[in-house]
Structure 1
Amino acid sequence: MRIGILGAGGMADALGTRWVAAGHEVFAGGRDATRAAAEYGEDVVLVALPWRAAVDVVAGLREVLRGRVLIDCTNPVGPGFVLETVNGPSVSARLASAAPDAQVVKGLNLCHEDVWRMAPPVFDGRPLAVPLCGDDAGALSVVRRLVRDLGCEPLDAGGLARAGLLEATAALLIGLWVGEGADAQAIAPPYAAAGRR
């Protein structure tokens, strides 16, 4: 698969490196976003930019992104671990508006870049689960494959309208992990005890 990455920071490097190891062709372009999207984003384009910049860059590439799968791994988390989009649409919704002919999938945003460098990210014998939000079945299928290529298990988290929940979850978890030094994983009971009957 050919993957273009908008951004050249830690997330771009970590995910891109792992996908190259899985046999994909990857090009990350910080300043050369058009090339990353046009030449290498034949199948998929990962948005790994600060969220405000991401919306502007994607808007400028709307024609290039037509028909492409656009993975949004951004987190609109500001100082004090505040969700910066709390009174407005999610970043994913903004990206979908900026490039209406692209198929946006939200995911890969709940972990620090160091987790994505693990090969694979397995904890206590359990592969990391990665929630995904999107409206297009074909796009979700493509992103599920890329998640599995990282050694993780994709989870269906609903349509793109639920992407804001993933962004809010990131703000909560980052605040607990970084701000409080808490074991945020401990807030979720095991599946068997989660109230299913």
Structure 2
Amino acid sequence: MRIGVLGTGDMADALGGQWVRRGHDVMIGGRSGERATALATRIDATHGTLAEAAAFGEVLLLAVPYDAAPAALTEAGAIPGRIVLDCTNPVIPGRFTLATPGHSAAERFADQVPEARVVKAFNLCHVDVWRMTPPQFNGRPLAVPLCGDLDAVDTASSLVAALGCHPINAGTLERAGLLEATAAFMIGLWFSGEDAQAVLPPLEYAQGMR
């Protein structure tokens, strides 16, 4: 699959590098040609501008900070038919609340690029988790929830599975705000030193004792 990565930071490095190693064709796109070239060289991908990466990819990874994402999508230009994986977290630092009351970040990006299909993905874990090969804990693959339309989620699921993770269809894009709020809440717990995973019971207890 051809994947255009919009961004040259840590998430672009981690996910882009994993997909290259699994045989996908990846182009790194960035505002800084120097940074795009350096990252592409490091992970054995090709490089270009944001617009070139957007034109290259069947799937695009939006891998820039939330505040920079609208400008990156504008520079990417027209992207009809593309699937855009949004891994941004619109979290206010220190407060661990959302910077996007009302519509989610993913929905806002979808409004900006109505000719594309946005999928919320990869926003619940620190970048170092995405560098793991594969991301497994106590022998259990990491589960990755995805919010978007069914066909786009199916395509995104194949890229999740390529990482050795378990994709979960978490519903349509209107549920992306719940996924973003989950990230804000859990990040707040992690920063306070709590084991956020411990707040949820195992599946067999989730609907009560039977």
TM-score where L is the length of structure 2? 0.87
Identity %: 57
Displacement of 1:27 after TM fit?
Answer: 1.4
Given that residues 11 and 48 in structure 1 are in contact (C-alpha distance below 8 angstroms), is that contact kept between their aligned partners in structure 2? yes
Given that residues 62 and 100 in structure 1 are in contact (C-alpha distance below 8 angstroms), is that contact kept between their aligned partners in structure 2? no
Given that residues 50 and 75 in structure 2 are in contact (C-alpha distance below 8 angstroms), is that contact kept between their aligned partners in structure 1? no
**1:115 aligned residue:** 129
Is 1:8 the counterpart of 2:8? The answer is yes
Is 1:185 the counterpart of 2:197? The answer is yes
From 164, 167, 174, the equivalent of 2:180 is 167
1:11-50 alpha-carbon deviations (Å, 9 max, x no partner): 11000011011110111222121111112x1x10000111
1:94-143 alpha-carbon deviations (Å, 9 max, x no partner): 111110010111011101110000000011111000000002x2211110
Aligned length: 191
Is 1:125 the counterpart of 2:125? The answer is no
From 88, 91, 114, the equivalent of 1:74 is 88
Q: Indicate the SS of the match to 1:134.
A: coil
- Distance, in Å, in 2 between the alignment partners of 1:70 and 1:46 is 6
**1:176 aligned residue:** 189
Q: Indicate the SS of the match to 1:147.
A: helix
Q: Which runs of 5+ in 2 are unaligned?
A: 32-48
Flag the 1:59–1:98 CA change in 2: closer, same or farther, 3 A: farther
Residue identity opposite 2:157 in structure 1: R
Q: How does 1:39-50 map to 2 (within 5 A)?
A: 39=56, 41=57, 43-50=58-65
Given that residues 61 and 99 in structure 1 are in contact (C-alpha distance below 8 angstroms), is that contact kept between their aligned partners in structure 2? no
**2:36 aligned residue:** none
Residue identity opposite 1:169 in structure 2: T
Given that residues 9 and 48 in structure 1 are in contact (C-alpha distance below 8 angstroms), is that contact kept between their aligned partners in structure 2? yes
Displacement of 1:6 after TM fit?
Answer: 0.6
Residue identity opposite 2:51 in structure 1: T
Structure 1 runs of 4+ with >6 Å offset: none
Given that residues 19 and 26 in structure 1 are in contact (C-alpha distance below 8 angstroms), is that contact kept between their aligned partners in structure 2? yes
Q: Indicate the SS of the match to 2:146.
A: strand
CA RMSD of aligned residues (A): 1.2
- Distance, in Å, in 2 between the alignment partners of 1:56 and 1:140 is 25
Given that residues 62 and 69 in structure 2 are in contact (C-alpha distance below 8 angstroms), is that contact kept between their aligned partners in structure 1? yes
Residue identity opposite 2:178 in structure 1: L
Q: Which runs of 5+ in 1 are unaligned?
A: none
Given that residues 147 and 171 in structure 2 are in contact (C-alpha distance below 8 angstroms), is that contact kept between their aligned partners in structure 1? yes
**1:154 aligned residue:** 167
**1:92 aligned residue:** 106
Displacement of 1:58 after TM fit?
Answer: 1.4
Residue identity opposite 2:183 in structure 1: A
